[in-house]
Structure 1
Amino acid sequence: MFEFSPTRSKWEQIAETVTERITTGELHPDDKLSEVELTEEFGVDRKTVRKAVAALRDARLVITRTGMGSFVTHPSERGEQ
């Protein structure tokens, strides 16, 4: 199970971990982020995962398509080369 720091909110730490996975290439463009899998992996409430996904969306690292889920964006969609 994931070790959370008690000094920061869990959603921030989840968003940071997923961001790292995206920037290191562990997660690729068009990979789907499963809220259920993230909830199980981090041992948190779905509401916490949704807040983390919202932060990733605000950072343009993921895009959410209604009825389909959230997907990792392409670097060009993030303003990267």
Structure 2
Amino acid sequence: MPFASENLGEGVKATRYVTNEHDAVVRGTHWVWRTRGRDIVMRTGTAHLAVAEALDPLLEVLARAIRLADDLG
């Protein structure tokens, strides 16, 4: 799904559910941007699905706060 960030522009957020070797369901989420010839990726993953859902809004705030070091000066 589209995911916009003021610092990095238009990106994508993708969430996937898979099973691990112990048959536990694991949730993995990626936030991805391509800007100025660079790939920027933030990834999370856990088998604690309720915690992942609860933290999702905070992780989106974190993802939107990411910026390139060039922009800090």
Same fold (TM over 0.5): no
Higher relative contact order (CA 8 A, sep 6+): 1
The TM-score normalised by the length of structure 2 is 0.28
The TM-score normalised by the length of structure 1 is 0.27
The structure whose Rg is larger is 2
**Larger proportion of helix:** 1
**Larger proportion of strand:** 2
